[in-house]
Amino acid sequence: MAVYLIRHGESEGNRKARVQGAADFELSAKGREQARLLGESMADLTLDHFYASDLTRARETAAGIEKYQKQKAVPSKDFREIYLGPLEGKTREKIYEMYPKVRQTTILRSGLEGTETDEEITVRCEKLYHLVKSIKEEETAAIVSHGGFLTIFLMYLLAGEDWDKLHRPFRIDNTGVSKISWKDGRLTIHYINQYHHLKY
């Protein structure tokens, strides 16, 4: 069993240095090229299961992979980026100006009213965990999602519901690929944030 966890390509929000959260942005021209190169790099894989966040930047990234697969990605709200409420669409500088206390926490887990709570994030991680665990040993799957959610999911794999006690140690770049698998009940993280397919 192999599961590929993939961050979307560069979005217009990334290009403009906007904090996106669950706000919907399409891919930039650079992001579309990244998605094309990603799809080419995965052409030799046969995906038995394919999922994507239902946000535009993830679906457009998945489309780059779909060109080489027999099936389309199944969209799901469960794989969206962390919901950041009043922070979405703003630059980091503007966020720190409007909400100085965020400097003492993190943008992903600010605790501000109207943002996704740790408990809500945990529920989504549990759903993805059970989905991944349901994949048969001989099958291959890919999930196109978002940097914040995927890094937290990797932390969840390591620490379960105590993920929130860890410092977030992972960075995932645009179209960065992480590969995980289970065999005989044991998790293996093969690599995190591989982007060799990008030619710049």
Note if 139 is an active site residue: no
Contact 88, 82 (CB under 8 A): no
CA separation for the pair 164, 151 (Å, rounded): 12
Asked whether residue 97 is marked as a ligand-binding residue, the answer is: no
From 33, 38, 36, select the one nearest 7 (Cα to Cα).
38
Asked whether residue 10 is marked as a ligand-binding residue, the answer is: yes
Asked whether residue 148 is marked as a ligand-binding residue, the answer is: no
* H/E run at residue 37: helix 29-41
Of 33, 60, 81, 116, the active-site residue reads: 81
Asked whether residue 7 is marked as a ligand-binding residue, the answer is: yes
CA separation for the pair 151, 196 (Å, rounded): 19
CA separation for the pair 111, 36 (Å, rounded): 37
Of 8, 49, 66, 88, the active-site residue reads: 8
Asked whether residue 9 is marked as a ligand-binding residue, the answer is: yes
Asked whether residue 171 is marked as a ligand-binding residue, the answer is: no
Asked whether residue 13 is marked as a ligand-binding residue, the answer is: yes
Note if 8 is an active site residue: yes
Asked whether residue 8 is marked as a ligand-binding residue, the answer is: yes
- Mark the binding-site residues for substrate, compressed into ranges: 7-14, 57
The catalytic site residues sit at 8, 81
- Mark the binding-site residues, compressed into ranges: 7-14, 57
